[in-house]
Structure 1
Amino acid sequence: MVLRNLDLDTLRTLVIAHDLGGYAQAAERLGRTPSAISLQMKRLQQDLDIPLFRKSGRGLALTEAGETTLAYARRMLALNDELMDTMHGATLAGLIRIGCPQDFSPILPGVLSHFATLYPRMQVELHIEGNAALADSLEKQQLDLALVIGQADRAAAVTIGELKLVWIASTLFTPPGDQPLPIAVLGPQCAFRKRAIQQLEEITRSYRIAATSPSLNGLWAAVLGGLGITARTALGLPADLICGPSLFGLPALGGMPVTLHRNPHATGPVIDRFSTLLTSALTLALQQSGKPRNRLRLLREA
């Protein structure tokens, strides 16, 4: 059997066509004709000597071999792109302005470390702010890239995932029987605060704001101290806290979209790479956020 080298451009076309949903969309993205895209896919199929596509309604879907090829294509392209970034990134210098809320700060060290390896001469300006403030700053072109909770109606927003919201309390917290429920919250513009109050009011559950803080660290201190229960994501949850979507029989909070906002004037491989690193880290964090890490974090429904 004579082995042939696969063309990376063809593999990239396969990934783009799959992710965008068809040859026409890939052709528009790549500046080619749909027939040219189709020809590339036929050649790839011939090179591998196995069917990669099957009829699905009016379109095409991947066979099992096609799914395997797609997975390998992603890995090969990731290695190729990282090698190119490493070789060329060492000579690039400049400033990149990134924003994210406090909730995502735990994922930043890994992203920043990887980015610094690829682009050692780039300067990173990091903004940790509220979600609305981040979206506003990007629209004013004060940021190049922002990871935001909610704000999906903004022009620059691209939804990349969903956060499941949970009620969070100290292991020592006991909700009062017929008294207003004490809650700990951030400021009035906090989306989690608004969602919690909305859900409590919908079931006419009385509550009182027992503690407020302008920072997430302050909020965790209040909750750990047993001052009240709060509503948030399980990302970065401190030890000695319990959480659940219906903790103590409270109403489910649902979820919120996570959106990536990119300044239309911020282009180039540096922005592309940081966007990819951030999205990958967030996806992994979202997958792990629903898994309890110790017995104290097991759901306590009552």
Structure 2
Amino acid sequence: MLSIKQLTYFLAVAEELHFGRAAERLDIAQPPLSRQIKQLETELSVILFNRGRSAITLTQAGERLMLRSKSILAQLADTQLEVRRLGQGAEGRLRIGFVGSATYGILPNIIKSFRANYPDVNLSLIPMNNAGLHRALVSRELDIAFARPALKDSEFVTRPLIEEPLIAAVPDHVSPGAGNTLDLSTLGDTNLILYPEFPRPSYADVVLDFCAQQGIDTARRIWTMDLQTALSLVAIGEGICIVPKSVGTSQRNGLRFHQIEPALGHTALSVNYRLDEQGLHIQNFIRIAQSVSRKIR
């Protein structure tokens, strides 16, 4: 089987058409180079060079091997570069899962910063609820997961990013109280729109627990699967929805966002990855995510 060393030696002689110059280029003595070429010809059972008194030329077999050698060595060099850049985190792919509310807050800034620093890393962005994020991290279908508040698993590393108060998304015809705040205990028979419906427990249970602590009646419930659908139901007057404060930074027709008074509670966003994940591009992403979160806090 041909070796990289043999191809390198052969290509030097084929391009120089002179054993002395080829040996100098390779920084070896001429006799060992001549022996290597002779051994190569013996292994292949061909003559690669026409050896004249004053010059050497390539045979047809030599010309073909020269073309192939250039291609093989070029591919090898490209492969080494690609593997090195992957190892350095400069190239590759990251599969990122996220809860829907993350797109209203810190996540876009993290993605923008990462792309600015590592433009050749391909990002796959996949919205999921916490249960889907957990399952996908376990099965290695995701590399990184943005969860609210966190994914609990001994095999995961969780890095807190930001904590924010809960606010109310209400139909635009609902009048807030003093100071543009909303007292949930005064809403009477208004529906509480919750998400996701399953699997449970979920973000919805966090909201229900906070309401129970303050004695707020949540008997009238409308369940849906995601934040976007919940906001759409609010906009058409079906009820109110409790959301992270960052969701209120994006205005939407048919609804308004109000601070809750007395305060209902806080929710946190975290970035999660597998404990056994040592990929440098993942570590780079986590580092940038934490840096962005420190600037926003």
TM-score range for the pair, normalised by the shorter chain length: 0.5 to 0.7
Query: Could you say what secondary structure the match of 1:198 adopts?
Result: helix
Q: Counterpart in 1 of 2:193?
A: 184
TM-score, structure 2 as length reference: 0.55
CA displacement at 1:190 relative to structure 2: 6.7
- Does the 8 A contact of 1:185 with 1:209 survive in 2? no
Quote the Cα distance in structure 2 between the aligned partners of 1:193 and 1:201: 12
Quote the Cα distance in structure 2 between the aligned partners of 1:177 and 1:144: 44
Quote the Cα distance in structure 2 between the aligned partners of 1:151 and 1:111: 18
Q: Counterpart in 1 of 2:112?
A: 113
Q: Counterpart in 2 of 1:228?
A: 239
CA displacement at 1:137 relative to structure 2: 1.8
Q: Counterpart in 2 of 1:144?
A: 143
Q: Deviations over 1:50-97 (max 9, x none)?
A: xxxxxxxxxxxxxxxxxxxxxxxxxxxxxxxxxxxxxx6899432211
Closer/same/farther in 2, CA of residues 278 and 201 from structure 1, 3 Å limit: same
Which protein, 1 or 2, shows the higher relative CO under an 8 Å CA cutoff with sep ≥ 6?
2
Query: Could you say what secondary structure the match of 2:170 adopts?
Result: strand
CA displacement at 1:229 relative to structure 2: 1.4
Between stretches 148-157 and 230-239, larger displacement belongs to 148-157
For 2:246, the aligned partner's letter is L
- State the superposition RMSD in angstroms: 3.1
**Mapping 1:61-140, distance limit 5 Å:** 92-106=90-104, 107-140=106-139
Q: Deviations over 1:216-263 (max 9, x none)?
A: 2221111222221111101132325122132xxxx6432233322122
- Does the 8 A contact of 2:100 with 2:127 survive in 1? yes
Q: Which runs of 5+ in 2 are unaligned?
A: 1-84, 176-183
- The answer on 1:243 being equivalent to 2:258 is yes
Q: Deviations over 1:106-152 (max 9, x none)?
A: 34444333333333332212221112321232133222111211235
Query: Could you say what secondary structure the match of 1:113 adopts?
Result: helix
- Does the 8 A contact of 1:147 with 1:258 survive in 2? yes
For 1:118, the aligned partner's letter is N
**Mapping 1:268-283, distance limit 5 Å:** 268-283=279-294
Quote the Cα distance in structure 2 between the aligned partners of 1:243 and 1:228: 14
CA displacement at 1:101 relative to structure 2: 0.8
For 2:171, the aligned partner's letter is S
For 1:216, the aligned partner's letter is L
Indicate the percent of aligned positions where both proteins have the same amino acid: 17
- Does the 8 A contact of 1:180 with 1:205 survive in 2? no
Give the structure with higher Rg (CA): 2
Quote the Cα distance in structure 2 between the aligned partners of 1:258 and 1:91: 25
* Residue-pair matches, total: 195
Quote the Cα distance in structure 2 between the aligned partners of 1:199 and 1:110: 29
Closer/same/farther in 2, CA of residues 119 and 158 from structure 1, 3 Å limit: closer
CA displacement at 1:274 relative to structure 2: 1.3
- Does the 8 A contact of 1:97 with 1:145 survive in 2? yes
- The answer on 1:255 being equivalent to 2:266 is yes
Q: Deviations over 1:18-62 (max 9, x none)?
A: xxxxxxxxxxxxxxxxxxxxxxxxxxxxxxxxxxxxxxxxxxxxx
Quote the Cα distance in structure 1 between the aligned partners of 2:218 and 2:123: 42
- Does the 8 A contact of 1:181 with 1:206 survive in 2? no
- Does the 8 A contact of 1:182 with 1:210 survive in 2? yes
Q: Which runs of 5+ in 1 are unaligned?
A: 1-87, 288-302
Between stretches 220-229 and 152-161, larger displacement belongs to 152-161
